[in-house]
């Protein structure tokens, strides 16, 4: 049976965009060996904390058989350190021992393409127009993009690249399966009880870069308005976003609460929220993956390509916003023209409020 390596190391939202295709592969080829090359910090998207990397497929590890981890941030800081070289060589040997038939590079970066090549998989597959153009030279099979959304594109590439193994079986575009972590689920229940909230939304003020970041004060205004409907706001604060989250709390008039949690805990908490409000970033795509309604705030990125997928959603984008992949520090001018009132109206619509 086929042995398939998924190369999508990060980040949170991008991994979630690849997950529907891989969930489809698991359903179509239940006996296949599926491995995933991923950054250590994102492994809870594939398996509950503490689950062995080679454990059998289960609710705690619902899609992949094997998890191969990298830590590129640590390795970059200590490039020539013996421990880095040892870790890197060990990771490559572990992958090569499996004897993968196909490596699917959903990342499209030079580093991911090289790792796919070094996996020694018989077929190294990627897009004909990867994110970093030079990456295509490391592929033995190149595929054109099909579909508007990146989820559709990843699914289409997987379907073409694996045709030899699929035969007449159709690769379905399925909702992604995420792990169930008992300890994270218990934490979420305890946290909700500790805060004394019955009904809540999650707001996510952070973003991958400044141009995608809506002002925290406006998130606070939204939280204050929703509190009139007895809906409180939990503010997701990632590493380094503490000041941003605190600004939301201050502007909310005491109607928002900061939560700091692991990836697994965020999954559990998101399962319990009524709605998520945020920009084009990982937690928004996590909510969409779990079927949670979403209000998406878009500026320099196009919701046609990376908008909420597979759930009830309102994606707000001002006509003045232009699509760009340049990571500007300052908020997009069009994004700043999305008012708090527009977001409140979209949230009320999705929550069913009059």
> Span 71-90, mean pLDDT?
88
Q: How far apart are CA 328 and CA 315, in angstroms?
A: 21
- Domains annotated for the chain, with CATH where assigned, are 3-166 (3.40.50.2000), 182-351 (3.40.50.2000)
How many residues does the structure list for the chain?
A: 354
Which pLDDT band, with edges at 50, 70 and 90, does 354 fall under?
A: very low
pLDDT of 226 > 70? The answer is yes
> Span 227-239, mean pLDDT?
94
Which pLDDT band, with edges at 50, 70 and 90, does 239 fall under?
A: confident
Q: What is the pLDDT of residue 251?
A: 97
Could you report the per-residue pLDDT of 154-209, keeping only the tens digit for each? 999 999 999 999 999 999 999 999 999 999 999 999 999 999 998 999 999 998 77
Could you report the per-residue pLDDT of 39-71, keeping only the tens digit for each? 999 999 999 999 998 899 999 999 999 999 999
Q: What is the pLDDT of residue 258?
A: 95
Is the pTM higher than 0.85? Answer: yes
**DSSP state letters, 310-345:** SS-EEEEE-TT--------SSPPHHHHTS-HHHHHH
> Span 292-316, mean pLDDT?
97
More confident residue, 81 or 172: 172
% residues pLDDT > 70 (the chain): 99
Q: What is the pLDDT of residue 82?
A: 86
> Span 240-266, mean pLDDT?
95
Give the dihedral of Cα atoms 146, 149, 152, 158; nearest 10 deg.
70
> Span 24-41, mean pLDDT?
98
pLDDT of 73 > 50? The answer is yes
> Span 257-276, mean pLDDT?
97
């Amino acid at each position: 049976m086929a042995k398939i390596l998924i190369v999508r190391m990060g980040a949170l939202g991008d991994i979630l965009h690849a997950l529907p295709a891989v969930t489809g592969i698991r359903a179509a080829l239940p006996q296949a060996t599926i491995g995933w090359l991923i950054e250590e910090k994102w492994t809870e998207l594939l398996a509950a904390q503490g689950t062995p990397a080679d454990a059998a497929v289960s609710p705690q590890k619902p899609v992949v058989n094997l998890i191969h981890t990298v830590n590129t941030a640590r390795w970059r800081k200590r490039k020539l350190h013996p421990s880095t070289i040892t870790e890197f060589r060990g990771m490559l040997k572990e992958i090569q021992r499996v004897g993968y038939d196909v490596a699917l590079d959903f990342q499209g970066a030079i580093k991911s393409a090289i790792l796919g090549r070094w996996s020694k998989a018989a077929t190294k597959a990627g897009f004909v127009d990867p994110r970093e153009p030079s990456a295509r030279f490391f592929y033995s099979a190149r595929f054109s993009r099909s579909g508007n959304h990146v989820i559709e594109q990843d699914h289409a590439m997987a379907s073409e690249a694996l045709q030899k193994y699929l035969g007449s079986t159709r690769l379905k575009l399925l909702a992604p399966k995420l792990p169930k972590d008992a300890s994270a689920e218990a934490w979420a229940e305890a946290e909700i009880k500790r805060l004394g909230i019955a009904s809540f939304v999650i707001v996510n003020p952070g973003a991958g870069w400044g141009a995608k970041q809506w002002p925290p004060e406006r998130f606070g205004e939204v939280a204050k308005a929703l509190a009139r409907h007895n809906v409180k706001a939990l503010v997701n604060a990632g590493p380094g976003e503490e000041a941003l989250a605190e600004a939301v709390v201050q502007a909310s008039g005491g109607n928002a609460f900061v939560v700091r949690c692991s990836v697994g805990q965020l999954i559990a908490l998101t399962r319990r929220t009524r709605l998520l409000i945020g920009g084009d970033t990982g937690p928004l795509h996590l909510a969409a993956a779990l079927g949670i309604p979403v209000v998406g705030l878009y500026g320099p990125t196009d919701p046609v390509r990376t908008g909420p997928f597979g759930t009830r959603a309102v994606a707000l984008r001002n006509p003045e916003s232009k699509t760009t992949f340049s990571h500007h520090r300052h908020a997009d001018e069009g994004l700043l023209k999305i008012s708090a009132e527009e977001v409140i109206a979209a949230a009320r619509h999705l929550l069913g409020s009059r």
